[in-house]
Amino acid sequence: MSHIIQIMARLYTVRKAMKAKHLIAGILAWALVLPALAGNRGDVPMAEDLRAEGRQAQLRQVPIMLVFTSPFCVYCDRVKAEYLGPMVDDPAYREKVIIRRIEAGGDMSLTGFDGKKTTHGAYAASQKIVMVPTIKVVDAQGKELAGPIVGFLTPDFYFGYIQDAMNEGLEKMRGRK
């Protein structure tokens, strides 16, 4: 009789382990699938050709918002995910601003507003970026239209700072100021 109890106990343990494996496999599968289902929500496009962006800004009469970030900056990730990414996804903001990301210290190729080839890191250095995230609102030639937003300031007011800078740039691009 004790032999049967031992066999049943082993079977119960094996079944529990199999259920746990299936549960873990299911969780891992969802972890891989969910980001794909979410698409690029919250993503800020990387700057590649500022001269071309400048032409678009001039044509549409909207400013360019440059966000300088770095890969391991948690505040940068938060700014992109909570503020700028949703703005990129919102059609209403497409009529008001062009938003692009520049990796300070990065070696990705970039065409400057002057048409010269450079890198993200060299461009950030030329803009005297010493802290990330930094947001600059510029015109079609790269001239600042509003004061920069340096660092991740008070979260409750941060979107207001972004809106103010964007609106100041928009007014200047459209000749209202």
Q: Count of alpha carbons within 13 Å of 47, Cβ hemisphere only?
A: 33
Rounded Cα distance between 37 and 71, Å, is: 23
Q: Would you tell me how many other CB atoms lie within 10 Å of the CB of residue 20?
A: 10
Closest CA to 139 of 57, 73, 82: 57
Q: Are 150 and 106 part of one and the same domain?
A: yes
Q: Are 156 and 78 part of one and the same domain?
A: yes
Q: Are 34 and 95 part of one and the same domain?
A: no
Q: Is the pTM of this model over 0.85?
A: no
Q: Are 9 and 72 part of one and the same domain?
A: no
Q: Are 18 and 75 part of one and the same domain?
A: no
Answer yes or no: are the C-beta atoms of 102 and 67 closer than 8 Å: yes
139 φ/ψ angles, rounded to the nearest 5 degrees: -90, -170
- Please report, in tens digits, the pLDDT of each residue of the chain (177 residues total): 666 666 665 655 656 655 656 545 555 555 554 444 444 446 899 999 999 999 999 999 999 999 999 999 999 999 999 999 999 999 999 899 999 999 999 999 999 999 999 999 999 999 999 999 999 999 999 999 999 999 997 899 999 999 999 999 999 999 865
Query: Which helix (DSSP H) or strand (DSSP E) does residue 38 occupy?
Result: helix 2-38
Q: Are 55 and 87 part of one and the same domain?
A: yes
Number of domains, the chain: 2
Distance, CA of 34 to chain centre? 18
45 lies in a domain? no
Asked whether the CA dihedral 111, 115, 121, 127 is positive or negative, the reply is negative
Q: Count of alpha carbons within 13 Å of 108, Cβ hemisphere only?
A: 14
Q: Are 21 and 96 part of one and the same domain?
A: no
Q: Are 106 and 130 part of one and the same domain?
A: yes
Name the 3-class secondary structure at 91.
helix
Q: Are 23 and 83 part of one and the same domain?
A: no
44 lies in a domain? no
What is the domain range of residue 60?
Answer: 50-173
103 lies in a domain? yes
Q: Are 35 and 54 part of one and the same domain?
A: no
Q: Are 169 and 88 part of one and the same domain?
A: yes
* CATH, residue 93: 3.40.30.10
